[in-house]
Amino acid sequence: MTSYATIGSRGRRSVKEEDPNPLDHSLVQELALKYRKTPAQILLRHMIQRGINVIPKSITPSRIQENISIFDFHLSEDDVEKINLIKERQRFFYAPL
């Protein structure tokens, strides 16, 4: 399995105005402080630790570097489970079956 645009796409409008941005979730913010990483790095690392390949997208050199800098830390099993339990879900790109 591969996750495309794991942390969303700032240029894509939400289907609903109230759609949550995973980068802004309070748990993700808390873990970013705990691990001294960005919220994007927390979300990308979460997917990698679950065995899911990620394809983050950015045209900003600093964000490209940030996206690749996720292999120097590990989330604890408890923190991975906490992220797994987040109830809000959002599909960023509609893929008709």
Each domain of the chain, given as residue ranges in start order, spans 2-8+21-84
pLDDT at 93 over 60: no
DSSP SS3 for 31: helix
pLDDT of amino acid 78: 97
**Residue 84: closest CA among 76, 73, 72:** 76
* Tens-place pLDDT, residues 33-53: 999 999 999 999 999 999 999
What integer best gives the mean pLDDT of the chain? 84
Percentage of residues in the chain having pLDDT higher than 70: 75
Q: Global pTM?
A: 0.81
Most confident stretch, 9-13, 57-61, 80-84: 80-84
